[in-house]
Amino acid sequence: PVAVRAAPAQARDVPVEVRAVGRIEASQSVAVRPQVSGQITRMHFTEGQYVQKDALLVEIDRRPYEAALAEARGRLAQDQARAENARADATRFAELVGKEYVSRSQYEAAKANAAALEAAVVADRATVERAALNLSYCTIRAPASGRTGRLLVHPGNLVSANASEPLLTLQQVKPVFA
């Protein structure tokens, strides 16, 4: 006979424990790449640091993009002034063509010039928006909350827009997959 020990049955909570070989994976992993080229001026995190969504991570030298924005704004102001003058000329020529002081072709040319300068103003506004957007890309923020991975660049390094190698990876650790 085999000796056994007996105990009275009881109802109670028992933790469920499974012992197995496996691995833990982040529920989300983001490779952070720059959208503009330039020199890294500051890093606002350390490797392995937990960062919140929208936290400032990296700053790229803003000066070339600030200059491009100022140049675009200057070109817009210049073309707006030219367009305003061309509109005024077209209006004057419209009155003068009725009195036959100017030819119809001169009036049409003034009208076409005004329309061309209006189109240039629209293009200049788009250039200003693009320059402002590029300037905003000089600050790289965390797209999600998580733990930063290995830092692949340092202040002073030159980075390229949409480079194949990321600046860093960001791993979301809440929740994780086992």
Question: How does pLDDT run across 87-143, given as a tens digit for each residue?
Answer: 999 888 888 877 878 888 888 899 999 999 999 999 999 999 999 999 999 999 999
On whether the pTM is more than 0.85, the answer is no
Handedness of CA 64, 156, 48, 176 (dihedral sign): positive
- Mean pLDDT over 63-86 rounds to 96
**Could you tell me which residues come within 8 angstroms of residue 51 by beta carbon, excluding any fewer than 6 positions away?**
45, 57, 142, 145, 146, 147, 148, 170
By mean pLDDT, which of 57-61, 67-71, 124-128, 163-167 is the weakest? Answer: 163-167
